[in-house]
Structure 1
Amino acid sequence: MLFFRYLFILFALPFLLIQTGYASQQSRDETVFLTVLHTNDHHGAYWQDKEGNNGLVNRFAMIERIRNEVAAQGGAVLLLDAGDVNTGTPESDLLLAEPDFKAMAKMGYDAMTVGNHEFDNTHDILQRQQGWAGFPFLSANIYNNKTSHRAFTPYAFFEKKGLKIGVLGLTSVDTRIVGSKAILANLDFRPHVSEARKVLAEMAKEKPDVVIALTHLGYYYDGKHGSSAPGDVELARELPPGSVDMIIGGHTHTAVCVGDKALDADWRKHADCKPDRQNGIWIMQALDSGRYLGRADFIWQKGQLTLKRYQLLPVVASTEAETPAVQALYTLLQGYKKHIDTQLSVPVGMFRQTFEGDRDVVRSQQTNMGQLIIAAQMDKTQADFGVISSGSIRSSISAGPVTYRDVLKVQPFGNSVTYVALTGKEIIDYLNVVAFKTAGSGAYAQFHNIAFDRDNGKVAHVTISGKPLEMDKTYRMSLPSYNATGGDGYPELNQHSGYVNTGYIDAEVLKSYIARKYPL
């Protein structure tokens, strides 16, 4: 791919030189008010919800008001995103997130870090998205295996009211597990701490006043990351003291508001949020899907940066008159929305009950949505049983009419349906891996038409269609191409002699199944 061969040359140099014409570094005796606004895990949510809240237009109106407020006080605003702009709503996914990135450009985003879902599409599409955005996509720990060069701009500098602000990007090494192996084949995700140390040493030569790590690593309270890769807490603890002022993160969709011994479950009841602080570094994250805007108000004085106030602000419809810029953004996004609505409003079928695909549920227990998706794939492939990782399931569908939009919200990734012929012994070996994926993670497996017990790290008493598994008998298992090629750490089956990729797209298979079987 030409994209990653030349990406470093084409994109790194211009952004490394952003705002190089500093007249002078900020005088150590002057006071500067700096407001950092941040979002993360947007996931295609460019349009407002049924109540008229959320969405990029409401977010932009809020950002404009804050910019005016801060400017009136003589301060400056830096606007950052911590990755995963891609994947989550059909309105965005079918348009390759073009509305989202073009809108973020008009909103004046300064930079974003590269999230794992930026690799849900091919490299040429990611390159196109960078063109739409016009701001730097940062990541210091992703390398091109063929050239041994970084695949993205590692860091950039920005000048705000005389302050020199350095921003470095980091991406979770779990991307190589949860992402498509075909798309990621030429990329190496290196340990983020060691790469951060390297670029911080480079950045220090430029003598920045403020340093921000813009990460897509995830937040795990007290560093307890379980089977996931280490996140922002561990990063902060391992960085040299004083090397970074704050970590603005994403990936886990967390409101990082801490209490005495845990995250503050009642943070919405308070006007302010207390971000985590580790090794002298503030850690912040603002949930997901543009529902909240993180606002950190700082004072820089005598060489010191002090956090005066931090808030997670709900993005709601404004009662004030819209500015021309906000009105123009609404017109832009409305055009995209109208274009795609005709396709998405097509009725598919009817549900008598809610099918549960909520992230917090489907990643921890077997659900009827998992059963439904696998049943559809088994029906298409005439399989005896099936499996799917829960991270592939992105939404619930409520009881009532079901549209194509609903189906695409559940399965937005465009994986193909595959099957593989396995002996009973091979099935045992396979289950001994996937049946023990950690509950709460996207790797947690949903099963259908197969049952078993777990005993000391092994499966036992396996039955298929209610009958005991026979070691020498051959069975057919359905699964998405993502899992068949090793996604979420599942055993790779695409080279197995009994493997077949049908080419049928998972969402289309589910849509067809619902249409034939409703009401369900």
Structure 2
Amino acid sequence: MRFFLLTSLLVTLTACSSSSNNTDSAQYLTLLHTNDNHGRFWHNEQGEYGMAARKTLIDRLKAEAKAQGHAVLLLSGGDINTGIPESDLQHAEPDFKGMSLIGYDAMAIGNHEFDNPLAVLDQQQNWSNFPFLSANIIDKTTGETRYQGYKIFEKNGLKIAVIGLTTTDTAKIGNPQYIGGLEFKDPTDVTAKLAPEIDKQYNPDITIAVTHMGHYVDANFGINAPGDVTMARNLPKGMLDIIVGGHSQEPVCMKEANVADKSFMPGKECKPDQQNGTWIMQAHEWGKYVGKAEFKLENDELTLLNYSLIPVNLYIDDENGNKKLAAEYIEPNKNLQDILAVYQQKGAAQIAGKIGNVDAKLEGDRNKVRYEQVNLARVIIAAQMQSVGADFGLISGGGIRDSIQAGDVSYKDILKVHPFKNRITYIDMTGQELFDYLQVVTSFPPDSGAYLQYYKLSFKRINDTLSDVKIAGKPLDMAKTYRMSINSYNASGGDGYPTLTNKKGFVSTDDTDAQALKRFFEQNSPVKAADYAPK
């Protein structure tokens, strides 16, 4: 157990440090971190983030820290996979190789690392020169951990234990076709057993959990699996010195105890969370920031001297509404940029060209598809219904990963919406069977990936009672047979949907969600967004 202090917390948007040089009695650690990369190895259209600029910044931060006599550790909170077609089409090879060249020490395994078969994740580990960590993923066949659980680092005289942990929600939101042989154990239980074993064997100076579990303010995790705050509160005080997290994709900046600083923006001060003697940090998403924490260890007391989220070429609005850089421009590292450019060009060549157009935005933003019915969901379902001749269709909102803007639509736009390569499936059910199924899927609340999006279906749900179900505007006939379209992820039980793959009348096709949506635009453009507006 260790006693923690917060003294002179100076938060800046630059890499400045107020630490003094190392002494015989004091040791120092500069901890750098990112999370939820989601395929963003390349900068966006505005030149924001990107791994080449990230490398320039991290190289500078490492050099400054080492000049002050600090140990340096660079961690990722996981979810390197899935988000940008140029990366997805290459199984994130540029992302993992880019991270290796930047010099990451370790990463947590995120739920999106299972968007592909396990053999792909094994290949990604082979591409990388740092370990993928998760102590709570168990191989059901062997009963052993499937991946490396922890790593001991010895840096500048400091012995640092890093334990990897993955959200148990992966069992629900991961692709059931790929994770059926894995068990995701409770991270708190695993850590409570593992940390003392590590302490006894290695006697580390500092123990860090690098996690992909999510930060939920004051442990309000809702229908999600418990995250970093819950774990820190439930472990013995000081068992973990630091949690470097991911998954909830937010900057963890606190106004006061258990109150988030909702005013945070690039370039502003950020104070990380602290729960039960454990600091909790997260750097939003996509490499938009590099988190930098400076610690002093003296007389077995760990003190946080500085913390900052340093923006990587992010733009903000000035007082006149014009775009300006939130901090000084970071020149991309030319060597890494040249290496990544080859991958960017290769990926871009596969998705170039117009396939159709739409007259207004099709809404697919995360803060919409998990809360309310959106027009893009209806277009997606219409495409899938057309593929299999269904009477109606549904999907979970969390499967929609981006919007489609008004104007010309490219295959890249389609793949940003549908990066998962799910197949289109259907099932023929009687009205009674369908009603029983809808009893479950209509119960999922907003603010969850399971939130139901539907088309050619209507119903009422009041006081947890389902009623007035209609298919294509007509009352549900309990004796009639209906065909429902659904993707293979939800049909296999993804997001907690009832499993359909073992039911009579279930058929899986070879058509993918991306292929169906691409074909829909090719055949129905110009698409009129108003035709798919929720009623």
Q: TM-score, normalised by structure 2?
A: 0.90
Which residue among 493, 501, 524 is the counterpart of 1:486? Answer: 493
1:368 correspondence with 2:378: no
Quote the residue 1:256 is aligned against.
Answer: 252
Please give the secondary structure, in 1, of the residue aligned with 2:259.
Answer: coil
Quote the residue 1:21 is aligned against.
Answer: none
Quote the residue 1:148 is aligned against.
Answer: 143
Report which stretch shifted further, 455-464 or 383-392: 455-464
Q: Given that residues 114 and 179 in structure 2 are in contact (C-alpha distance below 8 angstroms), is that contact kept between their aligned partners in structure 1?
A: yes
Which residue among 227, 234, 243 is the counterpart of 1:238? Answer: 234
Please give the secondary structure, in 2, of the residue aligned with 1:65.
Answer: helix
After TM superposition, the structure 1 = structure 2 runs for residues 250-399 of structure 1, keeping only pairs within 5 Å, are 250-260=246-256, 262-268=259-265, 271-316=268-313, 319=329, 326-399=333-406
Distance 1:491 1:169 in 2: 30
Distance 1:198 1:248 in 2: 20
Quote the residue 2:204 is aligned against.
Answer: 208
After TM superposition, the structure 1 = structure 2 runs for residues 36-47 of structure 1, keeping only pairs within 5 Å, are 36-47=31-42
Q: Given that residues 299 and 307 in structure 1 are in contact (C-alpha distance below 8 angstroms), is that contact kept between their aligned partners in structure 2?
A: yes
After TM superposition, the structure 1 = structure 2 runs for residues 54-93 of structure 1, keeping only pairs within 5 Å, are 54-93=49-88
Q: CA deviation at 1:320?
A: 6.2
Which residue among 197, 217, 221 is the counterpart of 2:213? Answer: 217
Cα 1:321–1:315 change in 2 (3 A) is: closer
Please give the secondary structure, in 2, of the residue aligned with 1:267.
Answer: coil
Distance 2:216 2:132 in 1: 24
Please give the secondary structure, in 1, of the residue aligned with 2:250.
Answer: coil
Q: Given that residues 28 and 302 in structure 1 are in contact (C-alpha distance below 8 angstroms), is that contact kept between their aligned partners in structure 2?
A: no
User: Runs of 4+ in structure 1 displaced over 3 angstroms?
Assistant: 317-322
Distance 1:160 1:500 in 2: 55
CA RMSD of aligned residues (A): 1.4
The one-letter amino acid paired with 1:228 is N
The one-letter amino acid paired with 1:42 is N
Please give the secondary structure, in 1, of the residue aligned with 2:458.
Answer: strand
1:165 correspondence with 2:160: yes
Which residue among 492, 512, 516 is the counterpart of 2:519? Answer: 512
Quote the residue 2:464 is aligned against.
Answer: 457
Q: CA deviation at 1:458?
A: 2.5
Cα 1:414–1:184 change in 2 (3 A) is: same
Partner deviation per Cα, 1:71-110 (whole Å, 9 max, x = no partner): 2222232100011001111010000000000110111100
Cα 1:290–1:320 change in 2 (3 A) is: closer
Q: Given that residues 28 and 303 in structure 1 are in contact (C-alpha distance below 8 angstroms), is that contact kept between their aligned partners in structure 2?
A: no
Q: Given that residues 313 and 329 in structure 2 are in contact (C-alpha distance below 8 angstroms), is that contact kept between their aligned partners in structure 1?
A: no
Percentage of pairs with the same residue:
47
Please give the secondary structure, in 2, of the residue aligned with 1:100.
Answer: helix
Q: CA deviation at 1:303?
A: 2.2
The one-letter amino acid paired with 2:339 is L
Q: TM-score, normalised by structure 1?
A: 0.92
Distance 1:344 1:320 in 2: 29
Please give the secondary structure, in 1, of the residue aligned with 2:176.
Answer: coil
Distance 1:264 1:198 in 2: 34
The one-letter amino acid paired with 1:251 is H
Distance 2:116 2:107 in 1: 17
The one-letter amino acid paired with 1:120 is D
Distance 1:47 1:351 in 2: 27
Distance 1:475 1:268 in 2: 49
Partner deviation per Cα, 1:339-367 (whole Å, 9 max, x = no partner): 12111112111110000000111110000
Q: Given that residues 53 and 331 in structure 2 are in contact (C-alpha distance below 8 angstroms), is that contact kept between their aligned partners in structure 1?
A: no
After TM superposition, the structure 1 = structure 2 runs for residues 5-24 of structure 1, keeping only pairs within 5 Å, are none
Partner deviation per Cα, 1:105-128 (whole Å, 9 max, x = no partner): 111100001100111111111110
Distance 1:96 1:117 in 2: 12
Structure 2 stretches of 5 or more lacking a match? Answer: 1-21, 315-327, 528-535
The one-letter amino acid paired with 1:189 is F
Distance 1:122 1:302 in 2: 47
The one-letter amino acid paired with 2:182 is L
Distance 1:481 1:370 in 2: 16
Q: Given that residues 83 and 416 in structure 2 are in contact (C-alpha distance below 8 angstroms), is that contact kept between their aligned partners in structure 1?
A: yes
Q: CA deviation at 1:270?
A: 6.2
Q: Given that residues 101 and 129 in structure 1 are in contact (C-alpha distance below 8 angstroms), is that contact kept between their aligned partners in structure 2?
A: yes
Q: CA deviation at 1:316?
A: 1.2
Structure 1 stretches of 5 or more lacking a match? Answer: 1-26
* Larger relative contact order (CA 8 Å, sep ≥ 6): 2
The one-letter amino acid paired with 2:298 is Q
Q: CA deviation at 1:506?
A: 0.6
1:445 correspondence with 2:441: no
1:407 correspondence with 2:403: no
Distance 1:286 1:210 in 2: 21
Cα 1:269–1:181 change in 2 (3 A) is: closer
Report which stretch shifted further, 298-307 or 182-191: 298-307
Distance 2:396 2:47 in 1: 33
1:134 correspondence with 2:126: no
Q: Given that residues 44 and 97 in structure 1 are in contact (C-alpha distance below 8 angstroms), is that contact kept between their aligned partners in structure 2?
A: yes
The one-letter amino acid paired with 1:216 is H
After TM superposition, the structure 1 = structure 2 runs for residues 426-445 of structure 1, keeping only pairs within 5 Å, are 426-445=433-452
Distance 2:192 2:334 in 1: 43
Distance 2:124 2:246 in 1: 19
Partner deviation per Cα, 1:188-239 (whole Å, 9 max, x = no partner): 1111111011110111011101110111111111111111111000000011
Q: Given that residues 154 and 199 in structure 1 are in contact (C-alpha distance below 8 angstroms), is that contact kept between their aligned partners in structure 2?
A: no
Distance 1:502 1:103 in 2: 36
Partner deviation per Cα, 1:46-90 (whole Å, 9 max, x = no partner): 100112121111111110111122122222321000110011110
Q: How many residues are aligned here?
A: 491
Q: Given that residues 312 and 330 in structure 2 are in contact (C-alpha distance below 8 angstroms), is that contact kept between their aligned partners in structure 1?
A: no
Distance 2:364 2:491 in 1: 21
Q: Given that residues 111 and 166 in structure 2 are in contact (C-alpha distance below 8 angstroms), is that contact kept between their aligned partners in structure 1?
A: yes
Cα 1:456–1:79 change in 2 (3 A) is: same
Q: Given that residues 425 and 508 in structure 2 are in contact (C-alpha distance below 8 angstroms), is that contact kept between their aligned partners in structure 1?
A: yes
The one-letter amino acid paired with 1:224 is N
Q: Given that residues 313 and 330 in structure 2 are in contact (C-alpha distance below 8 angstroms), is that contact kept between their aligned partners in structure 1?
A: no
Q: CA deviation at 1:272?
A: 2.4
Q: CA deviation at 1:297?
A: 1.3
Q: Given that residues 394 and 410 in structure 1 are in contact (C-alpha distance below 8 angstroms), is that contact kept between their aligned partners in structure 2?
A: yes
The one-letter amino acid paired with 1:149 is E
1:111 correspondence with 2:103: no
Please give the secondary structure, in 2, of the residue aligned with 1:376.
Answer: helix
Cα 1:83–1:367 change in 2 (3 A) is: same
